[in-house]
Structure 1
């Protein structure tokens, strides 16, 4: 199983656990589209939803702004930050560079039993044909976070984690038609890692992200 990527911004002494937990929960809500890009983030309702006071919530929101996941409008409203198409393509380019190297490094470092476990879970997900957004995100996180952490470079793993969240603020609804190809590509990447083949792992990861980019461009130009 993958480990949790630690927070990039340390919490204050006042409420480290509440603020940290709120921050991680808000990030998950952004990824799943539960926090819409089109509606302001309301302190009162979010505090009630998370069951915390406004003090740790405000700290968590400050972390969202600092991480580039949210932005204040000229009217003072806090909104989920939506990348432009150009920014999203730049994110994918950066992900390709970083995650390609992470996959190559993981191919020399990941524990074989871990690789086999992740492959088994991905194959089970593919066989289930469960296209539920939460299930897809869980598997996607498992694959990409496991590989990033196995690279042995914590700074790179954190950068990959942050870029993936930012990408999902653009494409919250996912990519229709990418379920089976995307999951199959995950298996290909992981098999290269298990085979201890850095070049194949790097190539498979970059091809996976190029396919995602091509699908996005195709959908955008057809609108």
Structure 2
């Protein structure tokens, strides 16, 4: 998602923002597993930054619900509860369903087809790295959210998706092929200019993801 633009004449880099995004990415990829201690000095060295922006980024992680302090005052990566995960998906189904319906009336057909081509390429390849799978997943959901024409809606969806992904750091390999086909169905409904079908396809996709992940976590 695009960040906030700097005021005219202010070209100072947003180092804290860069650190925050880097740490979030590490959490999503499992590089910082849940309950991992977040040590300012170590993270600053890992990111190649001074400790000041990293300290601010760590504060943002707390504010965003991605980190917490233990009773001993140690900062760790927070593990969301199953209830929080279910609440995230309940909201996502509402917001992303409406975003998909709006995209069916607003998103350029050529753009929707271009995204579909990338999903199909992933499906044809039969497998992908975690990074590539995340990239295409982000492309699908962010493209649709932005096409809604509502920036606040798009940002809310983006933030909720990050939180959902942080809950399931290990990913769900068995969802690779079904997920690709569900993405194609959503995009096809958008190409067909069918808001109701796009809404339903998105909601079914998210509900399938939710049910599968709940089943996995309740059997751990």
Q: TM-score, normalised by structure 2?
A: 0.92
Q: Mean Cα displacement is larger for which, 14-23 or 92-101?
A: 14-23
> Match for 1:42 among 39, 42, 64?
39
Question: What is the RMSD computed on CA atoms of the aligned residues?
Answer: 1.7
Residues 165-213 of structure 1, C-alpha deviation per residue, up to 9 Å, x if partnerless? 1111211111231110011101111111121111111000000011111
Structure 2 spans left out of the alignment, 5+ residues: 5-9
Residue 10 of structure 1 is matched in structure 2 by: none
Structure 1 CA distance for aligned equivalents of residues 66 and 149 of structure 2: 25
CA apart distance, 1:23: 1.3
Residue 99 of structure 1 is matched in structure 2 by: 96
Matched, 1:170 2:177: no
Structure 2 CA distance for aligned equivalents of residues 136 and 32 of structure 1: 11
Secondary structure of residue in 2 paired with 1:79: strand
Q: TM-score, normalised by structure 1?
A: 0.90
CA apart distance, 1:221: 3.8
Residues 84-133 of structure 1, C-alpha deviation per residue, up to 9 Å, x if partnerless? 11111111111101110111111111122211111111110111122421
Matched, 1:207 2:204: yes
Structure 1 spans left out of the alignment, 5+ residues: 8-12
Residue 214 of structure 2 is matched in structure 1 by: 217
